[in-house]
Amino acid sequence: MIRVEHLTKKFGDTLVLDDISEHIDEGEKVVIIGPSGSGKSTFLRCLNLLEIPTSGRVWFNNQEITSQNTDINKIRCQMGMVFQHFNLFPNKTVKRNITLAPVRTGLMTQEQADQRAMELLHRVGLEDKADVYPASLSGGQKQRIAIVRAMAMNPRVLLFDEPTSALDPEMVGEVLEVMRELAEDGMTMAIVTHEMGFAREVGSRVLFINEGKVQEEGTPEEIFSHPKNPRLQDFLSKVL
Ligand code: ADP
Ligand code: MG
């Protein structure tokens, strides 16, 4: 579904991603781990061109999205993204947050989008929050709404960038639970996280990014029980 070849990203003279070639297949749940500052967010953001690669190419469903001819906005509609800090619109109700993109892009009428929003809110147990503003929600509720907002576009893939890192510990579980259900429903997902238990349980493949390279990848069993790279062993000894 997503393929990157020789992906390199520099900020000024700093090399942040160093010649990464990777792929995410339909239905895979690819978990990305690694130390802070290693390039995990930049990698994720290059997949939907929120960051423009310095060199290398990115494909989405066999269409090269780094090509000049691609309408990237059309592609982004099919790639939902969930951020660490939720990024909800504070001046819009929960329901408006969810329906804005599907209506603006012409994917749905307001009525259709409202109906879809209520279905999704029901799935995450927040239908009673449809008409409130984000400020009145807890962090865990905000993040569940942000996931619902991404899902409202019926994306082909969801990208998560440390979705639970900004949450109080008691709210982490409710967000991971929603993500676990999406995974069980067959959603294709790429997830940057420090939640190693979740990575182990839900991940179909784990990538260890360090110093801008994928230094090791494998099944959760391979990565967590039999890590080979000393840098990965060192990282795991600090986070597990
Ligand atoms: P991670 O998500 O693994 O913590 P990032 O991808 O956010 O790492 O950052 C990797 C490196 O790139 C860091 O050194 C960071 O300071 C740098 N970086 C990230 N975004 C920018 C930017 N917009 N401008 C300059 N440097 C950046
Ligand atoms: Mg990051």
Residue 222: how many other CB atoms lie within 10 Å: 14
* C-alpha span between 118 and 96 (Å, rounded): 11
Q: Name which CATH class applies to 2-87+157-237.
A: alpha beta
In angstroms, what is the span from residue 16 Cα to ligand 1's centroid? Answer: 7
Confidence at residue 64, expressed as pLDDT on a 0 to 100 scale: 96
Question: What value does the mean pLDDT take over residues 226-235?
Answer: 98
Question: What value does the mean pLDDT take over residues 183-199?
Answer: 97
| Minimum CA distance residue for ligand 1 atom 11 | 37
pLDDT at 66 over 90: yes
> Cβ distance 47 to 4 under 8 Å?
yes
CA triple 102-107-113, angle to 5 deg:
50
Confidence at residue 240, expressed as pLDDT on a 0 to 100 scale: 84
Range 162-169 contact pairs with CB under 8 angstroms and sequence separation of 24 or more: 162/41, 162/84, 162/192, 162/193, 162/194, 163/82, 163/83, 163/84, 163/191, 163/193, 164/193, 164/195, 165/84, 165/193, 165/194, 166/84, 166/85, 166/86, 166/139, 167/139, 167/140, 167/143, 168/139, 168/140
Confidence at residue 100, expressed as pLDDT on a 0 to 100 scale: 97
Confidence at residue 110, expressed as pLDDT on a 0 to 100 scale: 98
Q: Is the CB of 193 under 6 A from ligand 1?
A: no
* C-alpha span between 179 and 82 (Å, rounded): 11
Distance of CA 162 to the CA centre of its chain: 8
Mutate to test the pocket of ligand 1, among 8, 10, 16 (most ligand atoms within 8 A of CB): 16
Q: pLDDT band at 109, cuts 50/70/90?
A: very high
Which ligand is closest in space to the CA of residue 209? 1
Confidence at residue 198, expressed as pLDDT on a 0 to 100 scale: 97
Confidence at residue 178, expressed as pLDDT on a 0 to 100 scale: 97
Q: pLDDT band at 235, cuts 50/70/90?
A: very high
Name the residue ranges covered by the structural domains of the chain. Answer: 2-87+157-237
Confidence at residue 37, expressed as pLDDT on a 0 to 100 scale: 97
The mean pLDDT of the chain is 97
Q: Which atom in ligand 1 lies closest to the alpha carbon of residue 161?
A: 2
Confidence at residue 227, expressed as pLDDT on a 0 to 100 scale: 98
Q: Which atom in ligand 1 lies closest to the alpha carbon of residue 45?
A: 6
Q: ipTM of the assembly?
A: 0.98
Q: Report the SS3 class of residue 174.
A: helix
Q: pLDDT band at 8, cuts 50/70/90?
A: very high
In angstroms, what is the span from residue 83 Cα to ligand 1's centroid? Answer: 15
Residue 12: how many other CB atoms lie within 10 Å: 6
Give the alpha-carbon dihedral of 46, 48, 49, 55, to 10 degrees.
Answer: 50
> Cβ distance 43 to 20 under 8 Å?
yes
Q: Report the SS3 class of residue 136.
A: helix
Q: Is the CB of 41 under 6 A from ligand 1?
A: yes
Q: Record the pTM.
A: 0.97
Question: What value does the mean pLDDT take over residues 3-23?
Answer: 98
> Cβ distance 25 to 16 under 8 Å?
no
Confidence at residue 138, expressed as pLDDT on a 0 to 100 scale: 97
Q: pLDDT tens across 150-171, in order?
A: 999 999 999 999 999 999 999 9
Confidence at residue 143, expressed as pLDDT on a 0 to 100 scale: 97
Q: In the chain, what percentage of residues exceed pLDDT 70? A: 100
> Cβ distance 59 to 77 under 8 Å?
no
Q: pLDDT tens across 50-63, in order?
A: 999 999 999 999 99
